[in-house]
Amino acid sequence: MRQTKRTMMWYEFYQDANIEEHLEAMAANGWKLEKIGFFWHYRRAEPARVRYSVTYFSESSEFNPSPTENEETLREYCAAAGWDFVAGWHQMLIFSTSREDAPPLETEGTVKLEAVHRAMKKNFLPSGFVILALFGFNLAMQLRLAERNLPSFLADGVQLGAALLILLLVCHLVWILCSYFLWYRDAKRSVEQGGPCPKRRSRFARARQTVLLAAAASVVLFMYIPAAVSVGRGTVKGLLFLLCGYGFMGVVIQLVRRWLRHRGVSAWTNRIVTIVLAFVLGTGIIGGSVFYTLWVHKSVQPGGEDTETYITSYGSEWQLRRDPLPLKIEDLQPIEALPWSYELTEHWSPLASLQEGRQVEYENWESLDYEIFDVKTDFLYRACLRNYLGTEELVGQRWLEYSAADETQWGASAAYRLSIDGEEMDTWLLCRNRRIVKITFDWEPTPAQMALVGKTLLTGA
Amino acid sequence: MAREKFQTLTEQMFYILLSLREELCGADVMARVAELTDGRVIIGPGTLYNLLESFLNAEMIAETAAEGRRRSYRITAAGERALLAEADRMETLLADYRRLGTGGERV
């Protein structure tokens, strides 16, 4: 029979009532809490009716080499009142007692509220705000990218997946911080009126955590990983490198912190070493994953069957690709026998897909560029079309804008032509169903060429 | 600031200060208060720890002896003044209550 058990803690750090009820239920089922951390460790014991009490002590820390003198004093008072210390985690201390007559750890609302808030200000609140600020800034940057180029953002599953994961984390942080401050406001009101300091309990804590984890896992499994796979093996390996690197970093930091603690190094020294180590390892891992991704990409292309190296007459080196483009210049008109490169890049997400096609020759820089964007819903289609059609200011107060063009020549349901400061360019936007094609020619296309482009790119024929 | 904090004393604050008219070690205060009040006032260990720290910071009690972590305390003049002020306040309440007549019956 299993003697030990490890579980995840489904409750927030500050939800003392939930934690106490959970531990009491575990004790009644024959599992006694031994140690707390990322996982909570239990040891098998006789099922017993045990009372647990959670308190918060601002001086407690994961960095202290041993409990401070004041924490020892508190534990001593608790022992005198019949409460045994069980485990501690950051500023949280857990006590238990089998005595029915043991008084509660806290008997005065104002004093309890002050102690809890002091402990929360030590770690939980500052770290919560710092993480929220960092990830909030990251999310704002992602939204800025989405605003600038919505189709590209929606079709990039890796970026969209990362943005969704960050959004989940930000929502979670906002929720727990708001929940804490709402509790603090109510508790302050209660104790000011002479009432007790209410326990913090959430009936949906476990359900909320489960939904959050399931949502994060779904984003990773159904968006992040398939999108990374669709981009290529370099991206997948880079992501794996990043994930393993973060896991390695977490383990190393924990081990170093524990080792320093074991050696009796002061809390401040331990804290500084841990922060420096986290910064160095974090920077190394991010830099390493970028270099690794680039290295894998680079190592794949030259050896690839469809790639060859070409040196132009003016001495620059290019990789000529032979990707299967849906439309080539030679489909539209005869071309010179020059070293053409056929480049197709595909992006995918569950919401949209984007194919970027480019046929180019590097001697005279003649090219045909187009992108085929497909989106899954009408709402997103309208938003993306608005994004494509958005007027843009170029350097030197030159204005780039699209105006409606004759769609019948293309076989499209709508067509728009680009102009810069009123001068028409050879760039068009073509729409049909929920597909948008943006195409740029090096020449003015003929009606026959327009019809062929529409037939090939808008219908996939 | 400390004076404002302890402008009025709660029952638990009052009895902790009262019990420290004799030198007591922290852990013994809980038992002493229960004894003084026949178990009517119970002080939890967390509350005791925080209140002793606050009283020490406000110089209402002073540490008189320390054997290892076992520290003993005694009330100071500032603590006595706080007790007296609280007793006066309660007497005023009681006097007002009696002067205005008793409105209800003891049940």
Closest CA of chain B from A265, distance in Å: 22
Which tens digits make up the pLDDT trace of B26-46? Answer: 889 999 999 999 999 999 999
Q: Which helix (H) or strand (E) holds A417?
A: strand A414-420
ipTM of the complex: 0.88
A19, A12 Cβ separation under 8 angstroms = no
Q: Among B9, B17, B47, pick the best mutation site for testing chain A contact (most A Cβ within 10 A).
A: B47
A112 min Cα distance to partner chain B (Å): 7
CA distance B106 to chain A (A): 23
Which residues fall within 8 angstroms of residue A448, CB to CB, at 6 or more apart? none
Token pair belonging to A402: 């699209």
Contacts of B31 in chain A (CB under 8 A): 80
Share of chain B above pLDDT 70, in %: 91
Give the model's pLDDT for residue B2.
38
Per-residue confidence (pLDDT) for residue A299, from 0 to 100: 60
A113/B16 Cα distance (integer angstroms): 19
Rounded to a whole number of angstroms, the distance from the CA of A113 to the nearest CA of chain B is 10
pLDDT computed for residue B106 by the predictor: 59
- CB < 8 Å from A in window 48-107 of B: 48-51, 53-54, 69-71
Nearest to B42 among A107, A111, A115 (CB): A107
Q: Is the Cβ pair B47, A110 closer than 8 Å?
A: no
Nearest to A353 by CA among A183, A230, A193: A230
Domain definitions of chain A by residue range: 4-105, 232-300, 314-457
Query: Are the C-beta atoms of A39 and A47 separated by less than 8 Å?
Result: no
pLDDT at A135: 92
Record: contact B44-A107, CB cut-off 8 A: yes
pLDDT for res B1: 36
- In the predicted model, residues of chain A with pLDDT beneath 70 are 232-234, 296-306, 393-396, 460-461
pLDDT digits (tens, 9 = 90+) for A292-323: 777 766 665 544 556 888 888 888 888 888 88
Token pair in block for residue A262:
């074991």
pLDDT, position A301: 52
pLDDT recorded at residue A123: 84
Sign of the four-CA dihedral A207, A211, A214, A220: negative
Q: Is B5 on the interface with A (CB under 8 A)?
A: no
Would you call A73 and B71 a contact, using CB atoms and an 8 Å cutoff? yes
pLDDT value at residue B3: 41
The pLDDT of residue A159: 86
B10·A110 Cβ contact <8 A: yes
Neighbours of A296 (CB within 10 A): 18
Contact B27 A111 (CB under 8 A): no
Q: How many CB atoms lie within 10 A of CB A395?
A: 5
Instruction: Spell out the residues 6+ positions from residue A7 whose beta carbon is closer than 8 angstroms to its own.
Output: A39, A40, A42
Q: Pinpoint the alpha helices (H) of A193-307.
A: 205-219, 225-231, 233-262, 267-300
CA-CA-CA-CA torsion sign (B75, B77, B78, B82): positive
Q: What is the pLDDT of residue A245?
A: 85
pLDDT tens digits along B50-87: 999 999 999 999 999 888 778 899 999 999 999 999 99
CA B92, chain centre distance (Å): 18
Contact between chains at B12 and A69 (C-beta distance less than 8 A): no
Asked if A27 contacts A217 with a C-beta cutoff of 8 angstroms, the reply is no
